[in-house]
Structure 1
Amino acid sequence: MAYAAIYIRVSTDEQAEQGYSIDAQKEKLIAYCISQGLNDFKLYIDDGYTGTNMERPAFKRMIRHVQEGKISTVIVRKLDRLSRKQKDVMTIIEDIFEKNNVTFTSTTELFDTSTPFGKAMIGVLAVFAQLDRDMIIERTTMGRRQRVSNGKWYGGRIPFGYNWNKELQQLEVNREEARIVTRIFEMYSQGESRLSIAEWASSRTNARAIDHSVIRDMLKRTIYTGKLKNAGELVDGIHEPIIDHQLWERVQIETQKRNDGSSPKGEYLLTGLLKCGVCDGNIVHVKRVTNVKNKTYSYELYACKKQHVRVKERNGTCNLGYFRREKIEQFVIDQIKQLSTSPSKMKAVIDKGKEPSNDEQDLIHLEAELKKVSKSLENLYDAIESGDLKASSVSDRIRNLEEKRDNIENDIDEYIDGNQKETDEKTIKKMFTDIGQAWDYFDEDEQKIALRKLIKYIVLQKDSSPHIEWFFS
């Protein structure tokens, strides 16, 4: 025999609201059933679930029982307990309840689903339920943006590496966790896989469960650099950064390389650092064995992945060719040693890195334009002050110039925020010198780590020596 289903839902945010607690809803709904002679009833309770989606265990179980014919009527305290989305409410009532001959009752909203007017009332109430939800979202979003615009953390789960100071209302660095965060970024920039980093981090802390996906998300969080995201824009936070700008940049470059198909630090010295100068593809390691006059010769080569496939599988026309592995690796090692022992060559490379890029040329243009606009405004102000012009006659022109000046200043600020390359020449020289002098004493893993500190990419070129793109160039 079919029974009445009492559905109760309360979200985490509603726990403290009067009339919304689980016990309050249960008491009133059971009393309602008894008063209506519905003594055969069953409770379906979702504790701590939002009404913005239908992925709720008790709700899904109730719907299954409706479709199995076990339920004759569904009773809630308020329509928005079913859902806060108008579309979902109408789908539940029309496509599930009505099709299975199940009536629906809200004890605080009087309507009869068997009449056209009752159905219309449900539609109206569902609209207001969604409106209430949208207003909550809007208020929350506005409050969040206001906090972030003032450099304050927007809330949520406290990022690993920080504690929350309730009195000061700001994040404070947890030194023990911060050391782990810094090491995570360093290990990734040195070519370690996310899985191996997660295993290492998990052995160092019990504060959080850390797996490779947590590492992935952590490496993307600008909060560790002292920045916060506000509607897609980066703003300065009032909290102390854990990661410096240079390490952040190395990690983002490493991430891009892996997204492009490069491997983490692997079996070979230059794994993940090579790319094709013909088609910009990834480089693979190739082993070849030949037999000549009863003698076996083994060769290890580097080749473009797009070229080193069967002819019928080739998608392009890459003809980079094949390079002896030992020659390419020795070339790179020689370049590092030469720079480490030649201050003039190192200075030339560093100075080349300081040459204005296209973006920097844009900055120069913006600064010149700002100077021009500011001069025009000064001339107009001077003319008004001297009485040569009436303010009313040039007010529109002044307003347009002021808007233009503000826009240019914003563009300049955005450029500066996004291009903070703090190249310390002494630090670079010392790093090269130290690595060059110690290279022959490094084991293979130490050599791989050293290379990733110095090099972004090594571009193999068809008819010339490889081109090395250094981190500071």
Structure 2
Amino acid sequence: MARTKRKVNPLRPQPTAAPQAKEFQTAAYIRLSIEDSGKPGSDTIEGQRNLILAYIERQSDLRLVEVYCDNGHTGTNFNRPDFERMMEDVRRGKIDCIVVKDLSRFGRNYHETSNYLLRIFPFLGVRFVAVNDNFDTETAVETEYGLVMPLKNIINDTYSRDISRKISSAIETKERRGEFIGVYAPYGYSKSEGDRHKLVPNPETAPIIREIFALRLQGLGYTGIARLLNGRGVPSPGAYLYQCGLSKQEKYRDTIWAAWNIKEILRDEVYLGHLFQGKRTNVAYKQVRKERNAPADEWRVFRNAHEPLIDEETFAAAQRISAENRRVYEESLGKADDLKTPSLFRGLVFCGDCSKALVRRHVYNRRQDGRIYYYNYLCVTSVKKAGACTPKNLKETKLVEVVEATIHCHLEAVAELERRSLQVWDEKTVARRMSIERQMAEEERRLSRNMTLLEGLYAQLVDGVIERDEYLSMKEHYQAEYLKAKGRYDALNREAQDLLRCGPANPMFEACRPFYQVESLTEDLIQALITKITVYDGSRLDIQLVYQDEFLRVASFLEGVSGA
């Protein structure tokens, strides 16, 4: 059969001089499942970086924009901080090419990896290169690697499943033999140089453990012990790991002792020489939440596994003190219920010096003239360690007084602003709103047309209607036109939203309206209108309102339209 006449496409490029080769704005993406400890080898962060950067340098059409690195993140899902940051840069147009060492570094989940390579990246116009796999989406369609790539993804995915099962089985076997398999030894112990699965007393921290138990037997509480250790400058468990170089995580650098540290140590039977492992366990491969607290009957217990730091009598005495304190506390519950008041400022009050949340503490006394019960807000940093922060001791009655005056003034101002908005809204804005709606409808039609043309290009390429170079040229054109229309539509939409927000439907008006007639503070009122309360020395307060910026914006808009 004779070939039919080819369709004429109005966008078919006319013969011109050879176009200049495109320069790709390139991201180098690096991933390692276990946090890089600096050990030598090819599959390290530094090894991947060197390989990728050398490859990019050899390619004349690649220009390195940024290196993205997820150190210590699994490849079985894409919930990784630097990967998400890279994809955000892709969506903003900063990146249009991604280079990785191999497909397994990009991801080991077959379905998600294939979705990125076969759907998401082509739609966004992103080139993808896996150096060691010789895979490049610019040439994959024309070589056998376009067929090999899905198979390699399946292999990577299967490998992760298999290795996960084998590792779990091996760990459980070691735990049942009494071998310690934790990343870090418990505070007070070190891993033996001769056998890394055996714990031995740490000469630096073991005396601290013994002192903690001795102080407990003397009657000190958890907070009192923590405060004493912090005052002497004794490194907390996290700070000790950082100082010794066992952990490189900056969050541990300046951690101090807290009451929960002391509580955990005092009830941990590891200091009796016993191992209790498997308390937290992986549920299954690729679960969204991978860990769970295992019930006690699933723990792997091995007694007399190492040298104890505390004798049975001392440990039992510490448990009796904790049990007695808990009993006294539970008996005291309810004695002053008739005097208690709800917390109105939950999660809103912070220290102006250390930025930590202030804690609400009650004071209850019995006196000859009756009972008194009131609340103070204290800086927990200064409570834990003297001198670590300036003490804050703000009475809740003072806080209520200042916040009440601030909110009432704010509500009066918002009510007046809403009244002014109603006077000018319809008269001044209706014409502009109708113009914006017409322009948005036109841009929507352009978006729909370009998307339809873009989606039909591939079918024309497969049917032989257009050649590959024509396909690429027209695809680039339609994508550019689509993005232009999308930019104009988004700008118009933002303007429409700005107009809407300056009218009666403004969220500030809707949030404040139910409280115009409220005379006393309630938790709902405070949580709706206040975002943060910062306390400085001398009980000086800085109250941040949820809608303070919105108030200024609407007031400025109304002044503008009133003068127009």
- TM-score (norm. length: structure 1): 0.48
- TM-score (norm. length: structure 2): 0.41
